[in-house]
């Protein structure tokens, strides 16, 4: 019998060794694969179940919060009290579809999962509380509301930022959506809402068009072309003087670029910008500046590169980088070459052809002009504090691009102030402030008369650097015909500029009570 008993022992030992081997696979060698499995919602449940910091505007309005839910394995639900107003900024934290917006970019900080928060906060560590981070946006609720109100139910975007440090003051696109529908812990309802959104792709309302969709910028791009002229020394506000014309035919083609409404215009750079003269800017770009200077200036403003905003997957705006082989020197400027696609360059110089831009990028063009040529990194996060109000992280203003020398930027600023004073952008005027702008009426790619209405601009106290820059697009609607920046987009931009120029009211929602804050 003893022999058999020993063998039973041996058999059991073998069985347990098999268990041990499998455990090593599950817990050690194969663990990474299991953790990465798409069915593994532990990390999501972890962040759902755990407390998560609030997201609040600069003026103290809570736009995202975690609410405890009774009798649910998820424990907490993420709610967005302002509905669609901040959907494109906060994004949504969903159970089945990941997170978007600020919720995605600052997930670890909101959930308190950074090493700094986990191990640096001794109080939380010993107190057992989750060291969550409360996030304050640079966005102002008052301005954001004005943007939504002013745009109304027209498809379009409004982007407002502080050119001095890149803080986003408002960012609104219509249509938007209610993130609560996809963040709900009623997972069936969330899935249904999500499927409904995806059925509307690629124009689903959860697309943050302000930084994810590009449009032909039209005449607002003349600011870039004009800047190229000033920066290269090829043009000054008063020289060259373009002959008055109703149509410009670039070299190598017979098709003519006309002015808006078939009008006749010309004159120097200041005059051409003031009335948004297509023939003058097309000629300036094609024959005075040429591909190299135009590409260089567009890229100096940030084209062909996604802007480094702290939101997920911003798209790059586009300026063509190849206009074909060199053919001959230009008759207007011997340093400049006529190339195979000079006709395309002529159109690109007035923001048509293959030029496309996000509303954010055009706002950055205005910001560059307003800020002495320097583009600051755009950002929506202002600062993150722990539940006691102690600072965890804050945004350090950082230079993204130097688009222009200060002198050239100031010159362009003057020209744009002219446009708002006596040109196409007079609708921007705000009593008591200095305002500059540039309108745009962009043909869509479709073969219709429908146009996008654009405006970019900036404003500030007289004699001081501008404190606000703006870009507004009201998208073309099929069959609506031409809508111009000056009549449709300017009033919207004027309202948000005026709102943003008002001093910030309200108090921070994330600074703790009873904690000493150095101011």
Partner 1 sequence: MTNSLRNTELSLLILVSVVIAGAYALASLATDAELPPNLVPFLGVIFGLLMLAHVALRRLAPLAEPLLLPLAGLLNGLGYVFIARLDRDLAGLQAVWTMVGIGAFVTTLLVVRSARVLERYRYTFMVIGIGLLVLPLAPGLGETINGARIWVSLGPMNFQPGEFAKVALAIFFAGYLIDKRELLAMSTRRLGPLHFPEPQHLGPVLVAWSASVLVMVAEKDLGSSLLFFALFVSMLWIATERASYLLVSVVLFFGGATLAWTQFTHVQERVDTWLDPWADPTDTGYQVIQASFSLANGGLTGTGPGLGRPDVIPLAETDFIFAAIGEELGLFGSTAILMTFLLMIGAGLRIALRADQPFEKLLAAGITTLLGVQAFIIVAGVIRVLPLTGVTLPFVSYGGSSLVANYILLALLLRVSHDSTARQLENHRAGAPRRGRATAGAVS
Reading the block at residue 270, the tokens are 């200041």
Give the separation between CA 412 and CA 419, rounded to whole angstroms.
11
> Number of H helices and number of E strands within the chain?
20, 19
Judged by CB under 8 A, does residue 22 bind partner 1? Answer: yes
Judged by CB under 8 A, does residue 34 bind partner 1? Answer: yes
SS (H, E, C) 278-322: HHHHHHHHHHHHHHHHHHHHHHHCCCCCCCCCCCCCCCCCECCCC
Toward partner 1, which CB reaches closer, 130 or 475?
Answer: 130
Question: What's the distance, CA 30 to chain centroid?
Answer: 40
Give the separation between CA 478 and CA 475, rounded to whole angstroms.
10
Question: What's the distance, CA 57 to chain centroid?
Answer: 17
Phi, psi of 163 (to 5 degrees): -65, -20
Q: What is the smallest separation between the CB atom of 132 and partner 1, expressed in angstroms?
A: 14
Task: Give the footprint of partner 1 on residues 118-137 (CB under 8 A).
Answer: 127-129
Instruction: Report the relative pairing of strands 265-267 and 242-245 from DSSP bridges.
Output: antiparallel
Give the separation between CA 499 and CA 148, rounded to whole angstroms.
12
Q: What is the smallest separation between the CB atom of 47 and partner 1, expressed in angstroms?
A: 11
Measured from the Cβ of residue 377, the count of other Cβ atoms closer than 10 Å reads 18
Tokens 């691009």 belong to: 401
Judged by CB under 8 A, does residue 325 bind partner 1? Answer: no
Toward partner 1, which CB reaches closer, 5 or 446?
Answer: 5
State the maximum Cα–Cα separation within the chain, in Å, rounded to a whole number.
116
Q: What is the smallest separation between the CB atom of 402 and partner 1, expressed in angstroms?
A: 48
Site stretch for partner 1 (CB under 8 A), options 24-32, 143-151, 272-280, 402-410: 24-32
Judged by CB under 8 A, does residue 96 bind partner 1? Answer: no
- Residue from 12, 204, 391, 399 in contact with partner 1 (CB under 8 A): 12
Site stretch for partner 1 (CB under 8 A), options 13-21, 245-253, 388-396, 434-442: 13-21
Judged by CB under 8 A, does residue 18 bind partner 1? Answer: yes
Phi, psi of 133 (to 5 degrees): -110, 130
Toward partner 1, which CB reaches closer, 6 or 198?
Answer: 6
Give the separation between CA 296 and CA 304, rounded to whole angstroms.
11
Return the closest-CA partner of residue 490 out of 413, 426, 422. 426
Give the separation between CA 206 and CA 214, rounded to whole angstroms.
16
Toward partner 1, which CB reaches closer, 14 or 325?
Answer: 14
Site stretch for partner 1 (CB under 8 A), options 41-49, 115-123, 172-180, 449-457: 41-49
Toward partner 1, which CB reaches closer, 38 or 262?
Answer: 38
Judged by CB under 8 A, does residue 68 bind partner 1? Answer: no
Q: What is the smallest separation between the CB atom of 163 and partner 1, expressed in angstroms?
A: 46
Toward partner 1, which CB reaches closer, 35 or 515?
Answer: 35
Q: What is the smallest separation between the CB atom of 23 and partner 1, expressed in angstroms?
A: 5
Which residues are known catalytic residues?
219
Hey, which residues does 441 pair with through a beta bridge? 453
Q: What is the smallest separation between the CB atom of 112 and partner 1, expressed in angstroms?
A: 14
Q: Which residues make up the interface to partner 1 (CB under 8 A)?
A: 1-6, 8-9, 12-13, 15-16, 18-20, 22-24, 26-28, 30-32, 34-35, 37, 39-40, 42, 45-46, 49, 73, 127-129
């Amino acid at each position: 019998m003893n022999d058999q008993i020993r063998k039973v022992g041996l058999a059991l030992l073998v069985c347990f060794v098999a268990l041990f081997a499998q455990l090593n696979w599950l817990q050690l060698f194969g663990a990474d694969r299991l953790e990465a499995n798409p069915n593994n919602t532990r990390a999501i449940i972890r962040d759902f179940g755990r407390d998560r910091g609030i997201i609040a505007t600069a003026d103290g309005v809570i736009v995202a919060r975690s609410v405890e839910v009774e009798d649910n394995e998820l424990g907490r639900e993420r709610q967005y009290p302002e509905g669609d107003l901040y959907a494109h900024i906060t994004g949504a934290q969903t159970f089945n579809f990941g997170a978007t917006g600020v919720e995605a970019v600052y997930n670890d900080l909101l959930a308190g999962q950074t090493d700094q928060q986990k191990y640096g906060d001794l109080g939380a560590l010993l107190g057992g509380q989750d060291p969550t981070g409360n996030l304050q946006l640079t966005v102002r609720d008052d301005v954001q509301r004005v943007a939504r109100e002013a745009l109304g139910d027209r498809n379009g975007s409004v982007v407002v930022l502080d050119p001095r440090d890149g803080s986003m003051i408002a960012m609104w696109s219509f249509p938007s959506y209610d993130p609560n529908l996809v963040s709900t812990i009623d997972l069936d309802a969330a899935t249904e809402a999500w499927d409904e959104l995806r059925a509307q792709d690629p124009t689903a309302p959860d697309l943050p068009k302000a930084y994810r969709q590009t449009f032909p910028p039209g005449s607002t791009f003349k600011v870039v072309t004009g800047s190229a002229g000033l920066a290269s020394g090829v043009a000054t506000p008063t020289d060259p003087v373009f002959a008055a014309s109703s149509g410009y035919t670039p070299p190598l083609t017979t098709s003519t670029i006309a002015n808006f409404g078939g009008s006749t215009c010309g004159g120097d750079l200041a005059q051409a910008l003031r009335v948004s003269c297509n023939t003058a800017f097309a000629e300036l770009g094609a024959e005075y500046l040429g591909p190299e200077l135009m590409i260089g200036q567009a890229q100096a403003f940030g084209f062909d590169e996604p802007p480094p905003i702290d939101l997920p997957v911003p798209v790059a705006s586009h300026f063509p980088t190849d206009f074909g082989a060199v053919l001959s020197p230009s008759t207007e400027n011997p340093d400049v070459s006529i190339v195979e696609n000079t006709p395309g360059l002529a159109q690109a110089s007035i923001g048509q052809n293959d030029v496309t831009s996000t509303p954010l990028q055009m706002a950055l063009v205005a910001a560059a002009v307003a800020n002495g040529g320097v583009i600051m990194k755009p950002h929506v996060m202002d600062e993150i504090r722990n539940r006691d109000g102690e600072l965890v992280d804050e945004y350090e203003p950082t230079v993204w691009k130097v688009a222009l020398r200060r002198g050239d930027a100031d010159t362009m600023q003057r020209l744009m102030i002219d446009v708002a004073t006596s040109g196409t952008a007079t609708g921007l005027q705000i009593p008591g402030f200095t305002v500059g702008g540039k309108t745009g009426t962009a043909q869509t790619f479709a073969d219709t008369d429908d146009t996008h209405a654009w405006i970019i601009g900036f404003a500030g106290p007289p004699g001081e650097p501008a404190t606000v820059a703006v870009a507004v697009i009201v998208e073309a609607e099929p069959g609506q015909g031409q809508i111009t920046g000056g009549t449709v987009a300017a009033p919207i931009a004027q309202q948000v500029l005026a709102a943003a120029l008002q001093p910030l009211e309200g108090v921070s929602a994330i600074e703790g009570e009873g904690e000493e804050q150095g101011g």
